[in-house]
Amino acid sequence: MTTKNLICIGCPMGCPLTVIMEDGHIEVTGNTCQHGADYAKKEVTNPTRVVTSTVRVLGADIARVSVKTAHDIPKDKIFDCMEEIKRTSVCAPVRIGDVLIRNCAGTGTDVIATKNVPRAGALPKE
Amino acid sequence: MKQCDIVIIGGGPAGLAAAIAAKKAGADDILILERDSMLGGILNQCIHNGFGLHTFKEELTGPEYAARFIDEANALGIPYKLGTMVLSVSRDKELLCINPEEGLFRIAAKAIILAMGCRERPRGALNIPGFRPAGIYSAGTAQRLMNIEGYCVGREVVILGSGDIGLIMARRMTLEGAKVKVVAEIMPYSGGLKRNIVQCLDDYGIPLKLGHTVVGIEGKERLTGVTIAAVDEQRRPIPGTEEHYDCDTLLLSVGLIPENELTRGMGISLSRVTSGPQVDDRLQTDIEGVFACGNVLHVHDLVDHVSEEAALAGESAAVYLQKQKTSVPHKVTINAENGVRYTVPQSLDIDNMKDAVTVRFRVADIYRDRAIVVCYDGTEVMRRKKKIMAPGEMEQVILKKSSFSDFPALKEITVRTEAE
């Protein structure tokens, strides 16, 4: 039997949740609504996050283009993803949604641009 | 002198949404003035996701959210000037501006929308004793250095203040390989969103020390460490509770202040609580034809609310241009009482109001099982039970025009909290 304490992020209440796991059975206490139970179950079985960061961009007026994983990835893969993001650099122009890293860190999820970055000097003035 | 129907000061989320709404409401001659080299404002450096859940029903990053509005403004052909600073504005709506191409120039506007946003409270506002070495940043400055300019800001970090930017930066710096040792918050509760505490601190095992502050800063050239102590109810450090942390970076996330130098220069009345202008239900300030929206009006938690509010300011400016002078308005003041720190708007023009007006406010403390109560001249007209309210999460009530029909001589509206 394992016990885990979490804080629900469903609303400002921030209910303190206690999750008890035993033989594949999950029991959630401390929640005041169904959202809390759903959140806790996902957190203890398959916690995932969208990772956001920046990638070096060459030939642009700015140094970095912001990026994100196209979908949420397993929480324990966050730092593997970051390692690959840090090693990457791209050339301007970049458009929102461009795939900058395919299948990042073997997660099956691409890393995509979240900002339009035109070539250096191509920014419209007015 | 250049003439313009509507000049919008600021090309961030508020300015963009105001411009789009003004255009859609029939205004044609609109100009956005932005001092940065790109549109989008603070969203450009907010690379994390979670924006737009209300507006677009999906989780976007800051730059993506901004791009939706920039694309729409471009599609509508709304002109803007980048790298342009507004130096002053006169009461009759003449703007003095400067940029590298045109030098110093003036614009005469028929209506102005103030959308200058806010800035961070600096170290100087805190009276922290100690040296003044390098390595002390406001959280938003560090965010810009890291996310836009691509610098490594520091390796061992202490964060003072648990505002959302500080929490977001705790995660961001951890992902980039820094060790965030502690987040100290002087209040007994965090001013940040619950989601950020869990996903930015708890996820990475970063401790949050409530009721603690920085009492010492060490290091002559570069920061070498800080001392943190617990505080009593009067927020005075308690002797004997000091703890030392070795660190090369201290981030301050200790509040935001609406940037109202221009507003003050125009002689517009400001609220002492919000530090933003006092506005009516059309978000008009006490100078006719001058409107305000976004963080320059009051600091928001969610950009979705900024966009919504700014759209109202834009529409109001367009309507103002089209309308003949109306009869003397029946203005009713909105009072904030008993746990409600302020309201925006602060007054309401019952005759000319829209069918529904959203009144936004913040509460003074963490309240459990309290009700939000609205009274018209002392008569209770609305009561909504809330399990929990917190200063860090903006609240709102919606007042319908129809609700005023029984109160023809109404003088004041009161919004307050009451224990249930």
d(CA A10, CA A27) in angstroms, rounded, equals 18
Judged by a CB distance cut-off of 8 A, whether residue B199 touches chain A is yes
Q: Per-residue pLDDT averaged across B310-332, rounded?
A: 86
Judged by a CB distance cut-off of 8 A, whether residue B148 touches chain A is yes
Token representation of residue B254? 């200790």
B328-420: CATH number: 2.60.40
Are B131 and B119 spatial neighbours (Cβ–Cβ below 8 Å)?
A: no
Are B186 and B231 spatial neighbours (Cβ–Cβ below 8 Å)?
A: yes
Average pLDDT, chain B: 94
Q: Which CATH number is correct for B122-254, 3.40.50.970, 3.40.50.10140, 3.50.50.60, 3.40.50.2300?
A: 3.50.50.60
Cβ of B61 and A66 within 8 Å?
Answer: yes
Per-residue pLDDT, B331? 87
Lowest mean pLDDT among A20-29, B8-17, B164-173, B338-347: A20-29
CATH topology match: B1-120+255-325 vs B122-254:
yes
Q: Which chain A residues are closer than 8 Å to B366 by Cβ?
A: none
Q: Quick one: pLDDT band at residue B45, thresholds 50, 70, 90?
A: very high
Element holding B196 (H helix, E strand): helix B194-196
Per-residue pLDDT, B59? 86
Q: Per-residue pLDDT averaged across B294-306, rounded?
A: 94
d(CA B331, CA B352) in angstroms, rounded, equals 10
Judged by a CB distance cut-off of 8 A, whether residue A125 touches chain B is yes
Judged by a CB distance cut-off of 8 A, whether residue A46 touches chain B is no
Judged by a CB distance cut-off of 8 A, whether residue B82 touches chain A is yes
ipTM reported for the complex, 2 dp: 0.87
Left, alpha or beta for B338 (phi > 0: left; psi -120 to 50: alpha)? Answer: left
Flag whether pLDDT at A37 surpasses 80.
yes
**Which CATH fold would you assign to the domain B1-120+255-325?**
FAD/NAD(P)-binding domain (3.50.50)
Name which of A61, A64, A78 is nearest B147 (Cβ-Cβ).
A64
Flag whether pLDDT at A55 surpasses 70.
yes
Judged by a CB distance cut-off of 8 A, whether residue A89 touches chain B is no
Q: Which chain A residues are closer than 8 Å to B80 by Cβ?
A: 126
For residue B12, give the nearest of B92, B93, B117, B95 by alpha carbon: B117
Name which of A14, A68, A78 is nearest B61 (Cβ-Cβ).
A68
For residue B170, give the nearest of B252, B284, B243 by alpha carbon: B252
Judged by a CB distance cut-off of 8 A, whether residue A119 touches chain B is no
Beta bridge partners of B49: B61
Tell me the CA distances in angstroms from A69 to B5, B25, B58, B69, one per residue in order. 43, 38, 15, 22
Name which of A14, A49, A126 is nearest B194 (Cβ-Cβ).
A14
Domain definitions of chain B by residue range: 1-120+255-325, 122-254, 328-420
pLDDT tens for each residue of A7-30: 888 776 778 899 998 888 899 999
Q: Quick one: pLDDT band at residue B387, thresholds 50, 70, 90?
A: confident
Q: Quick one: pLDDT band at residue B324, thresholds 50, 70, 90?
A: low
Cβ of A61 and B389 within 8 Å?
Answer: no
pLDDT tens for each residue of B91-138: 999 999 999 999 999 999 999 999 999 999 988 778 788 888 999 999
Are B255 and B161 spatial neighbours (Cβ–Cβ below 8 Å)?
A: yes
Show the domains of chain A with their CATH numbers: 2-45 (no CATH), 52-113 (3.10.530.10)
Are B6 and B31 spatial neighbours (Cβ–Cβ below 8 Å)?
A: yes
d(CA B274, CA B267) in angstroms, rounded, equals 17
Q: Quick one: pLDDT band at residue B299, thresholds 50, 70, 90?
A: very high
Interface test with B, best of A115, A123, A125 (most B CBs within 10 A): A115
pLDDT tens for each residue of A84-118: 999 999 999 999 999 999 999 999 999 999 999 99
